[in-house]
């Protein structure tokens, strides 16, 4: 059906097409983004016996182990919060981050056929994997609400900041995920390095323990890991208490923005070679 | 205004060690090796496409042919924006959809219904377009009953039908189609070709890569022939296709085994050459209306055997259309003398069907049966039907099934006179 009313779009093909228009173009592919995210969600728990309960089981089991080891045996200080709630509040954004990171880092290679057979801005693929991670997060979040009710922790106005913090967790996963997904096209080492990286990163994030373990003056350095800001932000927003200072949030936020800018520009620079290299 | 304008398109690939799949370790440990192999070593690179220019007007349907490695796929990938050219430019005016494989975007774990949406979105359809065409797509695919079954349980035929049904309902201004019709059963292939013809009639611009010469001549008024990354010929399909077929770039119309040791056969008889000849010339593109000679040359090494050359005509789909035995010859039931023999089988005009036949050549002794050799895929010939109204299809221009297409004599008597 020829659209006679609107002028036909002009597509220019040339070596090294400019990056910025491609980023703008990605926005017009948001429907595809949602379709791919939906596919990832629909497929994830296919042919599993426990299905979507995995979204609950993973954080709950981790919380139970943490409670036993860090809460009981090591008796880590939690700034007065019941340990299970304290840990779960940290695990929630962490699992969102680590899941989204893992899925997006492998996304381009996993969708090789799309990359080599059809055109669309490639950034849609890792972004869709990140978005798909939000579904598990939402399910686990309901559980957290139940846990807060059980421990009679009141919900305060600070919960209004939560969407921003979720966005920050997603942004952190996106920044690292799209970078690694692009590197993975060329160097499959990413697949092997990723579990290790995630593990170390988790230990560097105050999930099982509190930032209060760190001396005050080292905290901004600690916050170079943007997930420190995210996790402490979650505790502040939901439990109304954090040992982290404004500086921690500023440092984490700044790193996040810088990382995002770097990743996106790197991705745009190399994306046109994916089909030849993958 | 042009729909597609390509100017000097070139694509260079690194050959030998592919750039992909390198590990980080390799990149870190061999920076010098990489430097040495760099830019100026022409042997390390291959121009898969080299200075390709052509224009396509809106609504034109253009075939792209050439043997494997001629650059067809690279050209389609560049025009589909899957990869960028190394040199040159192109402009495309309108929405572009490309079908480079069957089932792009399909996920085996999802149902047929879900895959229609997913694949539609991946190929560039808007959600509301998919919703609008959903019933048509389902009807075209003929898999209504399995719509809510996971695609992984589909037969390959069902999968192909559903996948093509989605693709067939794309409505871009420019459609780029690679050899996706090479799969699926014959009747569905026909259906797809018809759908493609409809697409052409709707005024859409189509680029169609195929090895199926009859399909190219029927669907595309114009054809571009690529060879070694360059445009070798660009013009009316009939001319370009027959130039391609007779150039020996395509299917082989003649085969000759120069080295005695390589000749198929045994201690009694060996095959020397096979040729497809029409009008006194070796030809791979055969006019359906005129007789074709299949010449088999063989060397008899041991005198005194009864030898019967036989030809096996296979269609492109692998159907064994018929076998021809040499029984009408001076050598019938007579022992052969040693030396070179030439047997020619005449296939009458208006007998073969349109399309490709691949010929197997064999020489046997019949009683007791002994096959001295059977050379499968010895030669191939491409039968081109005429549209002048004097072949078996008459004035009918549509799909015409059958592995042979004889022109029969029909007797017709007038209706009996009715007496009032």
For the stretch A49-78, pLDDT in tens is 888 888 888 889 999 999 999 888 888 888
Q: Could you read off the pLDDT of B261-284 as tens digits, one per residue?
A: 888 899 999 999 999 999 988 887
Rounded-to-integer distance, Cα B85 and Cα A85, Å: 56
Residue, of B212 and B416, whose pLDDT is higher: B416
Q: What is the mean pLDDT of residues B195-219?
A: 79
Q: How close is the nearest chain B Cα to the Cα of A270, in Å?
A: 11
From the list B145, B165, B174, B160, the residue with the least C-alpha distance to B76 is B174
With an 8 Å Cβ cutoff, are A119 and B96 in contact? yes
pLDDT above 90 covers a percentage of chain A that reads: 63
Q: How far is it between the farthest Cα atoms of chain A?
A: 73
Rounded to the nearest 10 degrees, the angle between the axes of helix A83-110 and helix A162-186 is 40
With an 8 Å Cβ cutoff, are A35 and B122 in contact? yes
Per-residue pLDDT for B63 more than 90? Answer: yes
From the list A256, A72, A69, A55, the residue with the least C-alpha distance to A170 is A256
Task: Kindly state whether residues B126 and B184 are assigned to the same domain.
Answer: yes
Structure tokens belonging to residue A188? 């499959």
Range in A88-97, A250-259, B280-289 with the lowest mean pLDDT: B280-289
Task: Kindly state whether residues B273 and B236 are assigned to the same domain.
Answer: no
Structure tokens belonging to residue A113? 């056929």
Q: What is the mean pLDDT of residues B220-240?
A: 92
Rounded-to-integer distance, Cα B197 and Cα B76, Å: 20
Among the ranges A70-79, A130-139, B155-164, which has the highest mean pLDDT value? A130-139
A8 contacts on B by Cβ (under 8 Å): 93-95, 173
Task: Kindly state whether residues B211 and B300 are assigned to the same domain.
Answer: no
Return the pLDDT at A1: 44
* Alpha-carbon separation of residue B343 from A236, B198, B303 (angstroms): 94, 46, 17
Single residue among B246, B263, B295 that ends a domain in this structure = B246
Q: What DSSP line would sit under A118-176, residue for residue? A: --S-TTHHHHHHHHHHHHHHHHHHHHHHHHHHHTTPPP-GGGGGHHHHHHHHHHHHHHH
Q: What is the mean pLDDT of residues A224-241?
A: 91
Q: Could you read off the pLDDT of A134-183 as tens digits, one per residue?
A: 999 999 999 999 999 999 988 889 999 999 999 999 999 999 999 999 99
CATH of the domain at B281: 2.70.50.60
* Entry pTM: 0.73
Task: Kindly state whether residues B208 and B274 are assigned to the same domain.
Answer: no
Banded model confidence at residue A6, pLDDT cuts 50, 70, 90: low
Task: Kindly state whether residues B372 and B317 are assigned to the same domain.
Answer: yes
Cβ within 8 Å of residue A275, ≥6 positions away: A115, A116, B77, B82, B83
Domain coordinates of chain A in residue numbers?
19-277
Task: Kindly state whether residues B168 and B220 are assigned to the same domain.
Answer: yes
Per-residue pLDDT for B311 more than 70? Answer: yes
Rounded-to-integer distance, Cα A92 and Cα A146, Å: 14
Q: Could you read off the pLDDT of B356-384 as tens digits, one per residue?
A: 888 999 999 988 889 999 987 788 888 88
Task: Kindly state whether residues B211 and B65 are assigned to the same domain.
Answer: yes
Task: Kindly state whether residues B122 and B35 are assigned to the same domain.
Answer: yes
Return the pLDDT at B181: 63
From the list B267, B282, B255, the residue with the least C-alpha distance to B360 is B255
* Alpha-carbon separation of residue B206 from B59, B62, B94, B172 (angstroms): 7, 6, 12, 10
With an 8 Å Cβ cutoff, are B91 and A116 in contact? no
By the CB < 8 Å criterion, does A192 face chain B?
A: no
Per-residue pLDDT for B149 more than 80? Answer: yes
Q: What is the mean pLDDT of residues B403-420?
A: 86
Per-residue pLDDT for B246 more than 80? Answer: no
With an 8 Å Cβ cutoff, are A114 and B101 in contact? no
With an 8 Å Cβ cutoff, are B84 and A8 in contact? no
Task: Kindly state whether residues B241 and B282 are assigned to the same domain.
Answer: no
Closest Cβ–Cβ partner in A15, A42, A113 for B86: A15
Domain count, chain B: 2
Examine residue B391 and state whether it is found in any structural domain, yes or no: no
Examine residue B397 and state whether it is found in any structural domain, yes or no: no
Task: Kindly state whether residues B208 and B323 are assigned to the same domain.
Answer: no
Per-residue pLDDT for A88 more than 90? Answer: yes
Per-residue pLDDT for B16 more than 70? Answer: no
CATH of the domain at B60: 3.40.50.300
Among the ranges A24-28, B184-188, B230-234, B282-286, which has the highest mean pLDDT value? B230-234
State whether the Cα torsion A205-A211-A217-A223 is positive or negative.
positive
Task: Kindly state whether residues B90 and B195 are assigned to the same domain.
Answer: yes
* Alpha-carbon separation of residue B175 from B206, B219, B400 (angstroms): 5, 14, 26
- Give the structural domain span for B76: 4-246
Return the pLDDT at A2: 47
Q: What is the mean pLDDT of residues B92-112?
A: 89
Examine residue B155 and state whether it is found in any structural domain, yes or no: yes
Task: Kindly state whether residues B228 and B282 are assigned to the same domain.
Answer: no
Strand pairing class (B339-347; B205-209): unpaired
Q: What is the mean pLDDT of residues A249-262?
A: 94
Examine residue B333 and state whether it is found in any structural domain, yes or no: yes
Examine residue B373 and state whether it is found in any structural domain, yes or no: yes
Q: How close is the nearest chain A Cα to the Cα of B26, in Å?
A: 10
Structure tokens belonging to residue B72? 């067809």
Single residue among B186, B212, B246 that ends a domain in this structure = B246
Q: Which helix (H) or strand (E) holds B236?
A: strand B230-236
């Amino acid at each position: 059906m020829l659209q006679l009313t609107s002028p036909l779009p002009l597509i220019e093909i040339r070596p090294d097409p400019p990056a910025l228009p491609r980023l703008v173009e990605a926005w017009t592919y948001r429907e595809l983004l949602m379709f791919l995210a939906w596919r990832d969600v629909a497929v994830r728990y296919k042919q599993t016996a426990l299905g979507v309960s995995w979204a609950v089981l993973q954080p709950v089991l981790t919380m139970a182990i943490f409670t036993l080891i860090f809460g009981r045996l090591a008796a880590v200080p939690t700034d007065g919060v019941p340990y299970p709630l304290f840990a779960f509040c940290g695990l929630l954004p962490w699992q969102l981050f680590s899941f989204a990171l893992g899925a997006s880092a492998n996304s381009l290679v996993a969708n090789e056929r799309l990359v080599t057979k059809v055109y669309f801005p490639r950034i849609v693929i890792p972004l869709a994997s990140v978005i798909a991670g939000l579904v598990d997060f939402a399910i686990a979040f309901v559980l957290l609400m139940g846990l807060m009710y059980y421990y009679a922790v009141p919900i305060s106005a600070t919960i209004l900041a939560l969407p921003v913090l979720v966005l920050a967790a997603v942004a952190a996963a996106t920044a690292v995920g799209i970078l690694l997904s692009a590197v993975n096209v060329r160097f499959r080492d990413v697949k092997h390095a990723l579990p290790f990286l995630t593990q170390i990163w988790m230990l560097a994030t105050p999930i099982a323990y509190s930032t209060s373990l760190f001396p005050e003056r080292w905290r901004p350095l600690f916050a170079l890991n943007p997930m420190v800001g995210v996790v402490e932000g979650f505790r502040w927003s939901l439990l109304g208490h954090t040992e982290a200072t404004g500086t921690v949030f500023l440092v984490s936020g700044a790193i996040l923005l810088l990382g995002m800018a770097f990743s996106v520009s790197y991705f745009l620079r190399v994306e046109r070679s994916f089909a030849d290299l993958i | 205004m042009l729909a597609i304008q390509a100017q000097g398109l070139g694509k260079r690939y690194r050959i030998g060690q592919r750039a992909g799949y390198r590990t980080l370790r390799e990149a870190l440990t061999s920076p010098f090796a990489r430097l040495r192999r760099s830019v100026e070593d022409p042997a390390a690179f291959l121009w898969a496409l080299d200075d390709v220019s052509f224009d396509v007007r809106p609504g034109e349907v253009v075939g792209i042919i050439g043997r494997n490695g001629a650059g067809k796929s690279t050209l389609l990938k560049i025009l589909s924006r899957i990869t960028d050219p190394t040199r040159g430019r192109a402009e495309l005016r309108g929405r572009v959809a490309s079908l480079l494989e069957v089932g792009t975007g399909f996920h085996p774990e999802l149902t047929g219904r879900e895959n229609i949406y997913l694949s539609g979105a991946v190929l560039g359809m808007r959600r509301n377009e998919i919703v609008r065409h959903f019933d048509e797509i389902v009807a075209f695919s003929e898999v209504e009953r399995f719509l809510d079954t996971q695609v992984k349980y589909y037969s390959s035929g069902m999968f192909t039908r559903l996948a093509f049904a989605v693709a067939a309902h794309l409505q871009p201004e420019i459609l780029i189609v690679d050899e996706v019709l090479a799969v699926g059963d014959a009747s569905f292939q026909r259906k797809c070709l018809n759908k493609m013809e409809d697409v052409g009639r709707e005024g859409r611009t189509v680029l169609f890569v195929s090895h199926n010469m009859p399909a190219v001549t029927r669907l595309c008024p114009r054809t571009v022939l690529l060879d070694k990354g360059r445009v070798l010929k660009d013009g009316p399909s009939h001319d370009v296709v027959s130039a391609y077929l007779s150039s020996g770039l395509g299917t082989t119309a003649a085969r000759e085994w120069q080295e005695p040791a390589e000749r198929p056969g045994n201690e009694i008889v060996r095959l020397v050459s096979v040729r497809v000849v029409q009008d006194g010339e070796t030809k791979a593109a055969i006019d359906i209306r005129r007789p074709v000679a299949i010449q088999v040359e063989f060397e008899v090494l041991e005198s005194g055997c009864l030898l019967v050359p036989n030809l096996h005509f296979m269609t492109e789909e692998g159907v064994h259309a018929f076998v021809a035995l040499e029984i009408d010859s001076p050598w019938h039931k007579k022992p052969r003398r040693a030396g070179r023999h030439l047997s020619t089988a005449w296939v009458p005009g208006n007998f073969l069907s349109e399309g490709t036949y691949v010929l197997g050549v064999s020489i046997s002794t019949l009683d007791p049966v002994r096959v001295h050799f059977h050379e499968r895929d010895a030669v191939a010939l491409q039968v081109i039907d005429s549209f002048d109204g004097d072949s078996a299809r008459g004035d009918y221009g549509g799909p015409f099934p059958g592995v042979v297409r004889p022109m029969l004599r029909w007797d017709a008597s007038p209706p009996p006179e009715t007496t009032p």
